[in-house]
Structure 1
């Protein structure tokens, strides 16, 4: 029975999907390296995995009409966020900046003139993601813009990557507590509920740091004192949104 459960576990299904992806598509070396690096096993400890906390700042939600403005990320290794390896990069010549998003992220066209090319930034992110689980807060934006990049740059379908979403983790926690009164799942609001400090600035790097810290707090709430093997983690396996 356990063997059957393991076979149909979403993580093992993702492993088989990666194998099919590499067989069915002509992928460049960087994508091949990313998808051929082994995924965690079901018996691995969630706390011991290598993660990359990621945040995208964009001018909107539709990558076909909006622009990716900046990318921020930092590794989470051995339950420690590695600030010395944190990265935030502006995207060169991004278009469609909107006043309402500029108010939030303070990114204006003049700043983007000093940015880096879109492909260089995204390929660097893909290289950093090798062997890591991606942490995001609300995966819709990051997945849409990453999928768009993969389709436009490489003419490939969405990559079968392994994500964890702190937004969904928090929602599942409230469902378990039967707390239907809470409807504010913004990153700052959730952090406040878990007594994490408020960050006055807003941007890709700050939000990736805030998301990584929240993930560590949620991990302890969900798994401390219980079986924390990977088989019990609710990863986000969806790709196309």
Structure 2
């Protein structure tokens, strides 16, 4: 971890299916050698494609059609994200969502999916809290995982706030793992998965 560079990422979307739903907001913050780099944090609102409305998803993330009318399209924001990810491990809580939406967006824009190494704080939390039978009691949601590590609560469903929340959670999880392992945490200890 003392040498690792990650990019904590969170997306707000119209739904959970990248084949039919759309990205409305992206937030990211680098985590470099165990430090969250707040000065390099970014959030971008995304204008959905023509004819697509935010719909009922606005009740979760409060991103309304009028609030996104002047936002950039995903094709303009995607290169910024890919540049921020270059040389870094993607970090997210329940990372499959971010991986799937980023993969779908790059497949549409560039006819290819990026090869990503991914650390999922949800999977790390499962590992930390599972009993001998692999069962976890209690919620693994981001806010619940943060509480379990003594971290403060944040309002959910805001891309940059959720990215920061995942970054802080990972640092707490790494500290817990280091105590358990008695050594520095390595990337393989976080059970990353490679996509793309």
Structure 1 length-normalised TM: 0.74
Aligned residue in 1 for 2:191: 234
- Cα shift at 1:47: 2.9
Aligned residue in 2 for 1:70: 25
Q: Deviations over 1:137-180 (max 9, x none)?
A: 00121111111112111112x32211100000001112256573
In 2: Cα distance, 1:118 partner to 1:82 partner = 24
- Cα shift at 1:96: 3.7
Bigger share in helix: 1
Q: Deviations over 1:160-209 (max 9, x none)?
A: 21110000000111225657351411101111111100113530000000
Aligned residue in 2 for 1:182: 137
Aligned residue in 2 for 1:129: 85
Partner secondary structure for residue 195 of structure 1: coil
Aligned residue in 1 for 2:147: 192
* Structure ID, larger Rg: 1
* Structure 1 vs Structure 2 CA RMSD: 1.8
Bigger share in strand: 2
Matches within 5 A, 1:1-241: 46-94=1-49, 95-99=52-56, 101-156=57-112, 158-175=113-130, 180=135, 182-200=137-155, 202-224=157-179, 225-239=182-196
CA contact under 8 A between 1:67 and 1:96: conserved in structure 2? no
CA contact under 8 A between 1:90 and 1:114: conserved in structure 2? no
- Cα shift at 1:77: 1.5
Gaps of 5+ in 2: none
- Cα shift at 1:233: 3.7
CA contact under 8 A between 2:130 and 2:136: conserved in structure 1? no
Q: Deviations over 1:8-31 (max 9, x none)?
A: xxxxxxxxxxxxxxxxxxxxxxxx
Q: How many matched pairs?
A: 192
In 2: Cα distance, 1:228 partner to 1:118 partner = 35
